[in-house]
Structures are given as C-alpha cells and as structure tokens.
Structure 1
C-alpha cells in the first residue's frame, strides 16, 4: 500500500527576521500560496532530457492549501517492443513527453508538504526539485530546505528497545520563527552565526552508555521532531542481543496509508494528511 509522507519547509534566509519580529513565516508562505498557481517548471540538474513542471488542480483559501502534482517529464523515451514471433525483430519506438507525477498537498499556514512518492519518482528527488522550483521562481524567498517529518511515538518505541545508547547525533536547522521555546540559545547561535545547520554528537559505550532520558537529549529530540533537523542514534538491545540503529531521515517517518484508488488524488492527500472531512 502506498504512503503519504510529510515534510516541513525551512525558510533558511528569514530566521533572523522571524526572531527579530521583522516578518512572520505566514507572511513569507503567502508569497508561495499566491504564486504557486502557475505552470512553473525547472530543468533536471543532470539529464537534459528531463524537466519538472507543476500541475495545480486546486487552491483552497479556507484551508491554506495548494494541491496538485509535480510532473517529471522525459522529452523522449526509447521503448523496445517484444520480438516478432516470425522475424525475431525488435523494434524501437520513440515516445515523447513521458510523464511520471507525484501528487501533493502544500498546507502553507503550517509549512507542511504532504505527498505520495512513486517508484520512478522517489521522495528525495521530489523534495529536491520542489526546492529547486521554489528557489528558481521565487528569488525573494531565497534558499529553502525540506525536512521529512518523523513519527515521534514510533521513534520513542524504537528508542525503548535500546538498553545502552552509545551514539546520539543531531543535525539542527534554524527554526521558522520563534514557535519553539526549546533550545532557544542554540537557535539564536545558528542565526547569529549565519549557520545553515549545526551538528551535535554525544558518544558513550556499552560499559558507560548515554542517558537517553537526560534533559538535553529529550529536548533535542523534541526540537527536531518539529521539523527542524535529523536525529541518528545507535545502541545495544540486551533483550534482542543486537545493535539497533535509528535515522529519522530514512525511517520512523510519519506516514499515512493510502489505497490504490486514492494514491494519485491531491485532494485525498489534503484531507488525509491534514485531517479534513471530504465535505469541508
């Protein structure tokens, strides 16, 4: 069954202005809300045969959502036919504008992007080119980044299996605004240093492991769970007699199941990911 993934947009260039009260995340996100309703496109960074284009199907002012698809378009694709039974000849056909699409719902008031990846259009590429599309067509917004949102409860369930935590590593990014009271000093340090991100690592061993319930680790996990970074951990489970690793950029991700019938519907993604009834 397909899954809906969630990602948080990080407005890298505005952190200081948010902190100092010069503008708000909603002010910046309104630019995207009002500007994404166009057939914007960007070229692939490597393959000249591929470009990406937005196909917007719905803009909902009440819900602050922009719903549509990001299309990956191959200008030409060579397709070989099966061998002819009599001649054993294989013919090659040239198809034009072959499209793969990822449906999405972008809820701008909470800065979250929900989407369903495809086998030939994975979540990493989708986020990379959604980022490129914003940066290329909205220079007034500047640099942005996307962080996949993980399931905090699932993370803690996996952490609970670790009896001896030997590594806790964090990549922290600057928050959008001042909504997060936790680690305000670290957030300010990133902003004042003009740092895009900061790496923090805590190391122990099986003889003297880290205290996974310590206030600093708890607060750091809470911080990144808001969409402001990544957590990686490693430790040993005595019950399972094995090492357990965690990487919130690849696992324990927050997802919602979606059936075959609805996996291409941006409106279904909007309602499922952001908890709306169909009739709303």
Structure 2
C-alpha cells in the first residue's frame, strides 16, 4: 500500500479581512478553483558543475468538479538529468542523459474543506510538494496569500514527545486559524488581540533551558496543550530538541516524525479517477479525527489518534 499525506490549506495574507467579512473566504476559495490550471509554471534554477540547470514545476492532468469545488490532478517536477541502466551484455552500468525527466505527485484538493490529499514518490517528497504547490498558486495570487501546513498525527507526536527524557528547546510556528476568530483565542488566549494589532500572519515562539544539569522543559502543561491543539488542527509546526535516556541529542520534528497518513492501493495511486475517490474517503477520516481534537476545561487535549 502507498501512503497518502495531507496538507491543511490556509488563507494567510487576507485572514484578518476574512475575520471581518465571512463572505470573503468563499470568494477567495472560488478564485482558487477558477485560477488553478495547467498554465501555472514555476522554474527553479541552480548551479551544478558550472552549468545552469533548471527545474520546472507545473500542474497537469487536472480534473475539476464545480459541484463540490474539488480539483484532482498532478503536480509534476520536470528536469534534465542522467539515468542509470544495467547493460547485461557487457555486465556494466551505463548513463544516459535525458531531457524532460519527470517526477509527479497526484493530489486531490478539496477546496471547500481546505484540505489537500496527495502521494509522494522518489525524488519528490511531501515537503517539496507543499513548497511548490504554494509557489505555483503565487503565479496568479500575491506572494504570501496562502500557507500549507502538513497535517500531523497528534497522538503519535505526543507519544514521541512524552518519551523524550529531557526537553531542552522548543520552537513552534503558528498561523492564524481559518476556522474562525474564536479559534484564534483558543490558540493564543489573552494575547490574541495584541497579536492581531501587529498585522503579522505567523507567530513563532521559542523556549529553552540550559543543557547542563538535569532540568527539562515540562511538556504536560496547559501551554504545551495549546501548541498540540494548534498542531492537531493544522495551524502549526514544531521542532523539539532534547536528550534520550542515554543522554544522546535527539530532535523531534513534527513534519518529519509525525505526519498524518492513510493508505491507498499501489495499483490506484496514479489513476486520477481512483485517486479522487480515495482522496474523498480518506479526507473524511481525517476531518472526523480532527473534529475529535478538543481543548478540555482542564487544558488537556483529547481525541488524538495514534497509529
């Protein structure tokens, strides 16, 4: 079975205007549906062996459904490079230079629910997918209009966090939630109005203690539960540095170590029509799991699911 990953699609630059005018969110999402097409391209250049190389990213094989405001298709990476093959006659390996090599990621974009389901493949990982999906959209929208946050398995993340022997440093990046303005208060508490006054659309906070000694940052606290809630809802990323039981340095990255994923048959992962159906089904599971994540009166986070 292949693995399907998920990104929470967030309106970013206009989020405070969305809080003021609820109709604006629907307007922006409809614009995304209309403007996302196969004409969008993004080129990335880099130097290698003193020769300029270019990598092109674009959408292709798009299937749009206006009934449920959803798009199925592929995000493809196009590049020139060498391919190795085995020469049985001469018992050796040969290299052949090929133009327009490709690596693609099939996706299902549920615009109404602001979620993207997708697969990865060798040479095109899930972090690359998120980066270039946004860069393609920015060909027709202002830079910073949207932010993609990889969906986390909050149960798996908590398990790995609590297993750390000592927590020495925590860095968390959080964006204003698209759900509603009240959700923002849940995330930031009393400081939400002061933060909104700044006009910033990303809140980065960090905390640490000296590595010497035996002290550890306490993670089973109300403060951390707010962070975990934000991660579980698709509004934040977190990196934790600490030590294991052997006093060895370890790092817990929420994107790399606890992505939310669900299976999809290998035989159907590249079929646009089949991927659409699996994407709809798996997104319904994700949304149900996210709905169970709640901040309780005592500050605890419940409803998390561990695979």
Residue number in structure 2 paired with 1:259: 265
Which residue is 1:222 aligned to?
229
Q: 1:242 to 1:41 in 2, by over 3 A?
A: same
Q: CA deviation at 1:116?
A: 0.6
How far did residue 110 of structure 1 move? Answer: 2.1
- CA offset at residue 254 of structure 1? 0.6
| Cα 1:19–1:101 shift into 2, 3 Å | same
Question: Per-residue deviation at 1:20?
Answer: 2.3
1:183-207 alpha-carbon deviations (Å, 9 max, x no partner): 2555544432132423212324664
- Pairing of 1:105-254 with structure 2 (within 5 A): 105-139=108-142, 143-176=145-178, 177-178=180-181, 180=183, 181-182=185-186, 183-204=188-209, 207-236=214-243, 238=245, 244-254=250-260
Aligned partners of 1:261 and 1:89: how far apart in 2? 32
In the TM superposition, what is the alpha-carbon distance from 1:212 to its structure 2 partner?
1.6
Partner of 2:147: helix, strand, or coil?
strand
Aligned length: 271
Shift of 1:19: 2.4
SS of match in other structure, 1:13: coil
> Which residue number corresponds to residue 31 of structure 2?
31
TM-score by length of 2: 0.75
Residue 282 of structure 2 is matched in structure 1 by 273
Cα distance between partner residues in 2 of 1:65 and 1:96? 32
Once residues 267 and 186 of structure 1 are traced to their aligned partners in structure 2, the CA distance between those partners, rounded to angstroms, is 41
Structure 1 residues 68-115: Cα deviation after superposition (integer angstroms, max 9, x where no partner) = 1112223x55557666958x9998766443332110011112211111
- Partners of 1:24 and 1:65 lie apart in 2 by 19
CA distance in 2, matches of 1:50, 1:163: 43
- Paired position in structure 1 for 2:17: 17
Instruction: Tell me the equivalent position of 2:44.
Output: 45
The answer for unaligned runs of 5 or more in structure 2 is: 47-52, 286-307
Q: TM-score, normalised by structure 1?
A: 0.81
Distance 1:175 1:190 in 2: 13
Measured after TM superposition, the shift of residue 221 of structure 1 is 1.9
Shift of 1:255: 0.8
Distance 1:264 1:89, change over 3 A: closer
Note closer, same or farther for the CA distance 1:236–1:129 as it changes in structure 2 (3 Å cut): closer
SS at match of 1:136: coil
Could you tell me how far apart the structure 2 residues matched to 1:207 and 1:189 are?
36
Instruction: Provide the C-alpha distance between the structure 1 equivalents of 2:66 and 2:239, rounded to a whole number of angstroms.
Output: 38
Give distance in 1, aligned partners of 2:27 and 2:228.
28
Kindly report the root-mean-square deviation, in angstroms, between the aligned alpha carbons of the 2 structures.
3.2
Q: Is the 8 A contact 1:190 1:196 kept in 2?
A: no
Structure whose residues are more often helix by fraction = 2
Secondary structure, in 3 states, of the residue corresponding to 2:14? helix
Tell me if structure 1 keeps the 8 A contact 2:40–2:139.
Answer: no
Whole-Å separation in 1 of the counterparts to 2:190 and 2:235: 14
Distance 1:78 1:126 in 2: 23
